[in-house]
Amino acid sequence: MSDLLYSEVEEDLRASVRDLLTDRAGFTSVLARTESAEPYDLKLWRTLAADLGLAGLAVPEEMGGQGASYREVAVVLEELGRSVAPVPFLGSAVLATAALLAAGDTELLPRLAGGELIGALAVPLTTAPDAGFPDGVSANTEGALSGSVRTVADASVADVLIVPAVGPDGPGLYAVEKAGATVTEVVSLDLTRRLADVSFDNASSRLLTGPSGAEPALRQALLVGAGLLASEQVGVAQWCLDETVAYLKQRYQFGRPVGSFQALKHRLADLYLEIVSARATARYAADTLATGDSDVPVAVAVAQSTCSAVALHTAEESVQLHGGIGMTWEHPAHLYLKRAKSSELALGTPGRHRAALAGLVNLPPA
């Protein structure tokens, strides 16, 4: 049976990451970056990836990683969600790394795991795990890639792109250095996780896996991404609830704390119960991914459809319960609302995951 409780090691990991993010990714510095030409904090990324070894948590030690599991990666994502830190963890340490692991690559993986390189999986961020193999990029007989992909997460800071492309022999996964691609950043709703359009014009590439392995590797990477994104969404929701409770305890109206009014207590209690439920689904998804359980597709569908909705609802409630200040640029609530809304669409919408779940559990059509 899965153990959904956090181990002592996981709690120690959480404390280390939270201390670092509290010191280096406070709201004012994150907000300042969104308005600058360097929205990503690559110094913080190097500390997380190289010094703390978080980029290779789920990578085996013989491949340059830490030999941990996706449970530990999920704990890191919870903390990154709490801070909406502008680092390319989802794109590089989760999606690109999972694709390389599934493809059996041994060249790029150690460099991503050690934080030497940043990677990105060249698919639209909205791509669901059950989506078909993309055909926007093609490979010729020499392995040169041509075509384009829109709204790739973290591509603007990636050193290498993992590209699904269709070649003469069928689907393949290819590695392309950034110099071989044209990366154009687009305006994204979430200012702390940037999206970019990527195009290739006879770009040199290296084949990672061919027709027999490309589709399973891509699906596995998207399943891992969707399942672990649920933990980040739990972190977003938990921050919103914690900050809202703290605000309502110190905001007075009619001579008493606003939080003492029964109607608001009920709303906060409902949010707490939603987050407890969401956390359980996210932990189960992370645990099944860590153990390779056959229930992974079901666990991921349940976690994504639950956590997306809970994160968005909690962020919306946070903005409203903060009153006027929740609507201002100077208050961090808007960053969390945008992250929650953006993540709701990422790696499959809640409706897409619920539809997938219906098929997985043989639910008859309505």
- Helix (H), strand (E), coil (C) string for 55-123: HHCCCCHHHCCCCCCHHHHHHHHHHHHHHCCCCCHHHHHHHHHHHHHHHCCCCHHHHHHCCCCCEEECC
Mean pLDDT of 120-127: 98
C-alpha 10/C-alpha 139 separation (Å) is: 42
Chain centroid to CA 302: how far? 16
Mean pLDDT of 274-291: 98
The answer to whether 208 and 218 are in contact (CB under 8 A) is no
Q: How far apart are CA 31 and CA 326, in angstroms?
A: 15
Architecture of domain 215-361: Up-down Bundle (1.20)
Confidence bin at 18 (pLDDT 50/70/90): very high
**How high is the pLDDT of residue 114?**
96
pLDDT of residue 148: 98
**Residue 1: pLDDT band with limits 50, 70, 90:** low
pLDDT at 365 over 80: no
User: pLDDT by residue (tens digit) across 187-197?
Assistant: 999 999 999 99
- The average pLDDT across 289-317 equals 97
134-185 confidence digits (pLDDT tens): 999 999 999 999 999 999 999 999 999 999 999 999 999 999 999 999 999 9
Residues in the chain: 366
Q: What is the pLDDT of residue 363?
A: 87
Average pLDDT (260-264) is 94
What are the extents of the domains in the chain?
Answer: 215-361
**Gap between the Cα atoms of 5 and 136, Å rounded:** 42
pLDDT tens for 43-86 read 999 999 999 999 999 999 999 999 999 999 999 999 999 999 99
**Residue 35: band (very low, low, confident or very high) from pLDDT cuts 50, 70, 90:** confident
pTM above 0.85, yes or no: yes
Does 328 score more than 80 pLDDT?
A: yes
